[in-house]
Chains A and B, each alone.
Chain A
């Protein structure tokens, strides 16, 4: 005599498990799609903002390991000044799932001992971006 009660309960468990897997799959796919849609230019703007605000944690979050030395020199170069972004706007191009390039416009405004000493133009550098675990990171700068 088959135990219908336990068979039904087992089927329900399987259905719930399948449903959960389906939901998780949808969520993960959505996340992946979101990363693919993320704008590499946002990472460069974050890099510049973290640099002038001397926020080492945010700064390190958007740079590749092989770019760390140059990036640290850039970061440390702002140690003696106050600085802010002035009309900085970055734009991505040549974007694939894995790589992109980014260029910017605008200035970094540098203030030393209360006086605006220089505006560092941001046109020129071409940021080489790599999608690293769904985060766009700067892996090099070409001029």
Chain B
């Protein structure tokens, strides 16, 4: 009888605890339907075949569906999906015959832009107390992070246009100088191990025995650090990449700089093992994640050139939708947005 009573009370409590935990862990994915295109197609202005094509969509490109409407028949299907442009927020229509629901891997469901946690705010505040500069950010990265292509334009006003993203200008102004500066932790050929090795520190900038990380921290004292490492050994497992990435993250956290981890556009390793590792590390340390992989999925060829590694190029005029069909302007825009979100998110109201 006593056992029965326990069961009656404890079982609902246990169930409630499980449900609460589930809802906490899955705030990204709960009640969200994931859709993608099945063929290369275009989003139209209205659900009729005579309507103008607004933007092109690659096959297997994720789409954000708002609702369904009726329209012209394609392959006898008259249902159309009302979708939203991932960057511009404009509405378009795709016939249901050209799309499907699917179940993405967990790491693929994280939003492009970071969510700022209390942990990130604590790291930032600790950094300010340690003397880090609130107007400085740093980059840790390889060839896709060299300032000539990545972020440097934001210190050269003639080379970019924000268009509808002009709310980002105060962030550009706040971090002036950091955009076009070559960090000691960025170079062609760097990987997650290079920035931890004193062999690679530039003797013109760095002191004897410093790693590129030590050097960058001493010279620039950033309050935010964007970490974006694409390349790794062809034949070494992603868990070794992850071990080094954790050391980099721990270095910055211990020095009071908020790390933002970036996923990569390519899948040269074949099983997306590196992106999975990056998301795992971001979760474990409760730090911001910029899911750049997701940002390029709607682009033609998923933003990659024929070598499946380099990004498709266009200049950074975000008021031109055609340019935003290429990965480099999307990389710069979403990186800027990520820094903006984190910078604003870590501020503690007095």
Q: Which residues of A contact B (CB under 8 A)?
A: 73-74, 76-77, 79-81, 108, 110, 112-113, 115, 117-118, 120-121, 124-125, 141-143
Contacts and interface: CB of A to CB of B under 8 A. Distances in A.
Nearest to B210: A143
A117 B236 contact: no
Contact of A76 (B198, B203, B236): B236
Contact of B244 (A76, A117, A120): A76
A80 B191 contact: yes
Nearest to B211: A73
B218 to A, nearest CB: 15
Contacts of B196: 73, 77
Interface stretch (B4-12, B151-159, B182-190, B298-306): B182-190
A143 B198 contact: yes
B195 to A, nearest CB: 8
Interface residues of B, number: 23
Nearest to B235: A79
Contact of B187 (A73, A79, A113, A117): A117
Contact of A73 (B209, B233, B244): B244
A80 B232 contact: yes
A80 B341 CA distance: 32
B277 to A, nearest CB: 15
A143 B208 contact: yes
B199 A143 contact: no
Nearest to B191: A80
Interface in B206-220: 208-209
Contacts of A79: 191, 193, 231-233, 236
A82 to B, nearest CB: 9
Nearest to A117: B188
Nearest to A120: B199
B194 interface: yes
15 contacts: A73-B193, A73-B196, A73-B244, A74-B193, A76-B191, A76-B193, A77-B196, A77-B199, A80-B142, A80-B190, A81-B189, A108-B199, A110-B189, A117-B187, A121-B203
B193 A112 contact: no
Contact of A77 (B143, B197, B209, B236): B197
A72 B200 CA distance: 14
Given A74-B199, A76-B233, A113-B188, 15 more contacts: A76-B193, A76-B244, A77-B191, A77-B197, A79-B191, A80-B231, A80-B232, A80-B233, A108-B199, A112-B189, A121-B203, A124-B208, A125-B198, A142-B209, A143-B208
Question: Closest 3 interchain pairs by CB?
Answer: A143-B209, A112-B189, A79-B233
B240 interface: yes
Nearest to B190: A80
B143 A120 contact: no
Nearest to A76: B193
Contacts of B189: 80-81, 110, 112, 117-118
A92 to B, nearest CB: 20
A106 B9 CA distance: 75
Given A121-B203, A124-B208, A143-B209, A77 B188 contact: no
A40 B189 CA distance: 31
